[in-house]
Amino acid sequence: MSDLKAEISARLRRGQTLWAAGAYDALSAKLAERAGFEAVMSTGFGVSASHLGAPDVELYTMTENLSVVSKMVDALSVPLIADTDTGYGNALNVMRTVRAFEKAGVVGMIFEDQLAPKRCPAAAARIEILSPEEHAAKIRAAVDARRDPNTIIIARTDATTEDEAIFRAKLYVEAGADLIQPISRCFSDIHGLRRLRAAVGVPLSLQILGWLETDLSPEEIEEVAGLAVFPLVALMSATEAVQRNLGALRQTYQTRTIPQPVTSMTDFKKLIGFEAAEAAQDKYLLGDIPASPAEARIAAVMDKVFTNG
């Protein structure tokens, strides 16, 4: 993985766009890889929804997020970029976060400049952000804390005006950020994103939401982005399918009436790795290993002893 990480890091830094899908647990991460995506991004929005059944307002802790992300890394053979929110505190907390997630095997981390605890910009009417100098210091701490120079640090700004976003992003790049991520509600067209890209001198990290989904072509995204992620397609697809099927099932109590097709047990077992698990059981579990002739003779003698009293 170290060679792959070095290759991916170089690619992100030179702006050769890496397309990724968002995932919220190990299964959705595996499905993203199976679909052919070269990378996966953990989505805090999805982690909060799937593991807490709660909105993305940084209710989960760093260690709870780390637990989910580490399982995703273990399930993947492609790189994972982690949504690490605000870093869960000040610059010292950010340093601990970097070391913990780097140890878990992520290729990169995204740190946003919101005041902790954060509010999700996709839903919140009001966003409170740190001073640009304070977040620049947090990015500098993240860069200094990484033990592997191939670990990518992405600085996200939740500023909602273009000039403010550009001002902040330039400070974050000076602090060592490898990529800059604006929020979708800040810029409104490709011209603004080109302006940001030119001003900061590093590739952008774009989460393809809102107008970026509807108004931009893949070619336009690739002009400016080192990382392009569809963060919520997996979460929203699963939610819609499960909601519809369970609703129909509740009405009829018959699976043949559910509206969405379901994966067959055979296909699911193959996806999740039952064949490999069963092979390992056959190889390693002692209960499945035939007794040797000597062990069989001893067992027969003992059986006679206990049978005859």
Are the C-beta atoms of 154 and 205 separated by less than 8 Å? yes
Q: What is the mean pLDDT of residues 81-96?
A: 97
Active site residues: 120
Q: Which residues pair with 129 in a beta bridge?
A: 114
Q: Rounded mean pLDDT of the chain?
A: 92
Between CA 196 and CA 182 the distance in angstroms is 9
Q: What is the mean pLDDT of residues 115-134?
A: 80
Which of 68-77, 243-252, 258-267, 281-290 is predicted least confidently?
Answer: 281-290
pLDDT greater than 70 at residue 48: yes
Q: Write the pLDDT tens digit of every residue in 194-235.
A: 999 999 999 999 999 999 999 999 999 999 999 999 999 999
pLDDT greater than 80 at residue 248: yes
pLDDT at 291: 60
Which of 133-137, 177-181, 298-302 is predicted least confidently?
Answer: 298-302
Q: What is the mean pLDDT of residues 96-120?
A: 93
Where is 32: in which H helix or E strand?
helix 26-35
pLDDT at 36: 98
The full set of domains in the chain, from first to last, is: 2-231 (3.20.20.60), 263-309 (no CATH)
pLDDT at 304: 62
pLDDT greater than 60 at residue 151: yes
Residue at 188: amino acid letter? S
Question: Residue 162, by phi and psi: left (phi above 0), alpha (psi -120 to 50) or beta?
Answer: alpha
pLDDT greater than 80 at residue 303: no
